[in-house]
Every structure is written in C-alpha cells, then in structure tokens.
Structure 1
C-alpha cells in the first residue's frame, strides 16, 4: 500500500511540475493540470480542513477536492478548476450599481451560511477541525489553537495583561478585548481576487488557507487588512455585516503597534 501511495505522489507531483513549466501558474501556488483541475501547493492543513468542512456543511461554491498528497513543503491539493473571472478584475474594470448589488447579495448569503455554522466549542480560535490556524495578520506560521477569545486576544497583544493594556496600547484595545464575542467560521481573506464570477453571479469562493473559527468581527476587520487596495471594497463588505467599528479601530491600532505577533514571538 505504501508503494502505491508513493507512486501516486510521484505521478501527481510530476504532473504538477510539468504543467507549471508548460502552462505557467494561475497564482503563486496554483497550477492548471488540465481543463477541469488545478493543483495547489504547498498548502497547510487548515486549508484542506476548511475546503472539506465547507463542502460538507454548506452550499457555498468552493473547489471540490479530488485528492491530496504530501510533497515538498507541505500538502498538495488537486481540486476542480472553477471557470469564471475574479471579482477584482471586474471591479477594477467597472461594474454597474445593479451588478455590484447582485454580487454583494451573494456575498451576504455566503456570510450568513458561515455565521450559522456551529463551532466545536464557543470561544475557540482554531482551524475547521480544532487545530492550529494560519493567518498572515497573526504571522507566517501556524499558531494556536486558542481555547478562548481572551487567550487569543492576549496573544494579539503580545501577552500584555488586560489590566496593563491601556498603558501600552490604549483604552480602545481594552474595550474591544473585554467584550464577549460569538465564534463564527471565517474565510479570513474575503478579497475580490478570491471571488469567482460567471454571468454576474458568484460561482466560486477560493483560497481558504486562512479560514477557521474566529471572533465574530474577524471577516470584517480582515477585509481592511490587505496590501491589495480595491476601491470601495471594504466599505461594500461592511454593508453586509453588523457594525464592528470599535473592533476595526482596535485592530488598526494593533496593526500599527504590534502586527504579526506570531512572527515576533519566534524572534
């Protein structure tokens, strides 16, 4: 059985390398390996967990996982290629107000499904299956899981106790990190480049690398945390979520004062 598994890995990774040299890449880690399929890799386990979990528990259009193998640097996932145009391209070209509203309503429906999923434990910050998470707001490596929002928020503050936080970061952080939040499943990278459109509707939501269970405000604040600036995008997402103005203010302060705590803690 091990020989067959090793042979499968060799065949799939050879296909990955040959396809990349012939057809190029669709992104930094995504290679088209046929008319219907792509291979993405190397990936971390939370991405595979999220794809399988969302496919099983929602009707959100995500790439169907066909098979996986372990290769250089991590997991490689063969999945269906979703035909369409990424929303970033369409948004920058210009969409009519009615076209934008239709797409935003589709996003609202996706968010509703995500926010009705039941976490394995209230307050947990973890991958779909309760393991470590990856989020570049936090750092470039896996961290956690965190068994409570308070421990997660403490990590974001670099371990500064809540009673000392006002002196270090200000009262806005104290106010946010003192609140009780619900736990929702978050995509954590709801950027237009990850939303695939065909015939004016969303047909795919891709790149679930950062997805997991987070405090309820996470998808909203993360929409503002990007170096790829698409005009009006965060404000458009904001209309489809509850207001998290205080949390956004607190997160922006932390981005400026102590961003990517997972990287800092490893120095």
Structure 2
C-alpha cells in the first residue's frame, strides 16, 4: 500500500469487492470445477508469472480446492497482454485475470460506475479483486474477439468506416449525460475517486478534487521539478476554460477496442451467379477504463490524437476517429503539443 498516494490505495476497493467474492467463486467454480492441482499435460506453463499466484489468505471466501484450481488454470492460461509486471491471462472462454504489482482502483470503480449508469455500454465486468502478497488479481469477464490494433492494418476502408460509425454510436452513448457546471458539486476526474490524471506524462495525478476546467488546466501545467515561466503563462492564457464536462474514456486507442470479424455472404444481385464474401467487423467491447471520468469535452480528442504513431501501422487511425461523437479540437491539441516541449 502506498501511504502517500490516495490513488494507489486499494484498501477501499478490496473491502467493497469482498461482497463480490461469492459471485466470483460461483462463476469460476462452475467454469473450472474440473481443474486439478496437477500441471497441464502439454507443459505450457508460465512459472515466472503464475507460480504461487493465489496463496489466498481468506479460505472462508475461497476454499483451498478452488484456490488450487485457480492456480492451475492461470498457469495453463494464455497470456493475452503483457507490459512490464502487468499480465492479462485468459482463464477460459469467458473470464480473464489481470495480475499486477499495483492496481489502480479507478479501473474497478469506473467500470462498476458505468455498468450502473450506462448499462448499454459494452464493457468488461469486474467479478472480484483478490490480493496475495504484493500481487493484486482483478477477475473480469472476457471481451470477445481481438483488439482492433491487431487487425487494423488488414482492414479495408469500408471496414474502418464501419468501426468509426460504431464508435460514434458508443461514445455518443457514453456522453449522453453532461455535467452541469452550474451545480456546486460538479467535480472533474474519475467517476468515483474524483481525481484527475494524465497517464501520458509520468502518470501524474491531481492531489485533490478539481471542480472547474480552469483548475484542470492549471493541473495540466504542473510539473514537480519546473517553475512556470512567462512563456508557459502565455500558453495558459490561450487555454479555454468553458468546455462542456462529459464522460470520457481517456485512452481511446485501437488496443482498447475489441472487435469480431465474421464472414458475411451477400446475396447475388440480379444477373449475378457467384456469391461474394466479405468480413463484417463488429465492435464487441471497449476496455481499460482506468483513465476515464468527467473531463472537458476536448480531452478525449487531445488524448487520442497525442497517442497516434504517425509512421506505424496505425498511422491512418487519425482519419477514422469517432469525430461525430468526440468532436474536433485541433487548437486544443496544438496547445497540448506546445506544453509537451516544456513538460517533457
């Protein structure tokens, strides 16, 4: 536990998620009831990741035989994602576990908030949170399909437009309700913690709750090792403080969009004999909501564009962002780029 960082303190999450253990146990026991405590027959294990993963301290919630079964399926599971000491491992067709040395509680809180307030939004659902030693385990439902990032280079223009239209619908749904700036209790940042963050720049997190866009812009300009110069003050004067405050994902990127590709047989047109086949692409889920919250309406655009690699396989992603839903804010993006030169 990091005592001086409120955003890193997951004690509240663990206490709340204790009520989810029975559901977690029931679902995983049903899915993996036949698993044994033996190694997988094909030897496909991940000892550096999974050995001793679930030395669970609460046998009243998770019986020893279920803990052994969980250890088994995690060892034999497929690593779907890996970054530094964070792993996402499949534990069957319908579940995954995210294993990390630290867990951002906003990941859990934001998904639960959205499941309650925007239930139509396709997102993974949290089943429970367990801690063993220094590791934290977030059990979630598994989004179907593959990441948009992995298939993007092979998609046709028609398929990319289809993805754009679907994302427009989903982000319009996300933004259905906007915060009312006339209310005294309006706060920016994560839906539950109320803390603002910029995960692009050394994972900066606000020290307290911010209530206006002006306060948010001041937060964006902060750097622990730098003094605000007249040049930076000039940039601050050009930043707008009157955007609408809307629900925001905060990390709109093809790696956080899950899609399914299915073959569709189109009926022949009059006079045609041979049927043609095409792949229909469907957005199945939006994942990774730890950076989400109430933010200025321009923030989604600025964050999404700033993370595009202009020379890689996703270089044309900028042409297919869901602009109808998230808007178009080139001036705000340009100012953000100027700030990058100072913030580093």
Please state if 1:169 is matched with 2:232: yes
1:265 aligned residue: none
1:264 aligned residue: none
Computed over aligned residues only, the root mean square deviation of the Cα atoms, in angstroms, reads 3.1
Please state if 1:196 is matched with 2:258: yes
Aligned residues of 2:213 and 2:241 also touching (Cα < 8 A): no
Please state if 1:158 is matched with 2:222: yes
For residues 90 and 159 of structure 1, what CA distance do their matches in structure 2 show?
38
Please state if 1:131 is matched with 2:190: no
Give per-residue Cα distances to partners, 1:112-140, cap 9 Å, x unaligned. Answer: 11222344876622211143244312532
1:181 aligned residue: 243
1:44 aligned residue: 104
Q: Which of 182, 196, 215 does residue 296 from structure 2 map onto?
A: 215
Q: Which of 71, 76, 81 does residue 142 from structure 2 map onto?
A: 81
Q: Summarize the Cα distance change of 1:111–1:245 in structure 2 as closer, same or farther, 3 Å threshold.
A: same
Instruction: Give, in angstroms, the shift of residue 9 of structure 1.
Output: 6.4
Relative to the length of structure 1, the TM-score reads 0.81
Q: Which of 15, 18, 25 does residue 79 from structure 2 map onto?
A: 25
For residues 257 and 15 of structure 1, what CA distance do their matches in structure 2 show?
51
Aligned residues of 2:214 and 2:241 also touching (Cα < 8 A): no
Secondary structure (helix, strand or coil) at the match of 2:211 reads coil
Say which is worse superposed, 81-90 or 123-132, in terms of deviation.
Answer: 123-132
Q: Which of 210, 223, 229 does residue 146 from structure 1 map onto?
A: 210
5+ residue gaps, structure 1, are 260-267
Instruction: Give, in angstroms, the shift of residue 101 of structure 1.
Output: 1.3
Aligned residues of 1:134 and 1:209 also touching (Cα < 8 A): no
Aligned residues of 2:179 and 2:244 also touching (Cα < 8 A): no
2:163 aligned residue: 103
Aligned residues of 2:187 and 2:211 also touching (Cα < 8 A): yes
For residues 81 and 115 of structure 2, what CA distance do their matches in structure 1 show?
23
How many equivalent residue pairs? Answer: 253
Aligned residues of 1:127 and 1:133 also touching (Cα < 8 A): yes
Say which is worse superposed, 26-35 or 79-88, in terms of deviation.
Answer: 26-35
Secondary structure (helix, strand or coil) at the match of 2:255 reads helix
2:123 aligned residue: 62
Q: Summarize the Cα distance change of 1:51–1:13 in structure 2 as closer, same or farther, 3 Å threshold.
A: farther
Instruction: Give, in angstroms, the shift of residue 170 of structure 1.
Output: 6.5
For residues 13 and 125 of structure 1, what CA distance do their matches in structure 2 show?
40
Instruction: Give, in angstroms, the shift of residue 51 of structure 1.
Output: 0.8
Instruction: Give, in angstroms, the shift of residue 63 of structure 1.
Output: 0.9
Q: Summarize the Cα distance change of 1:27–1:17 in structure 2 as closer, same or farther, 3 Å threshold.
A: farther
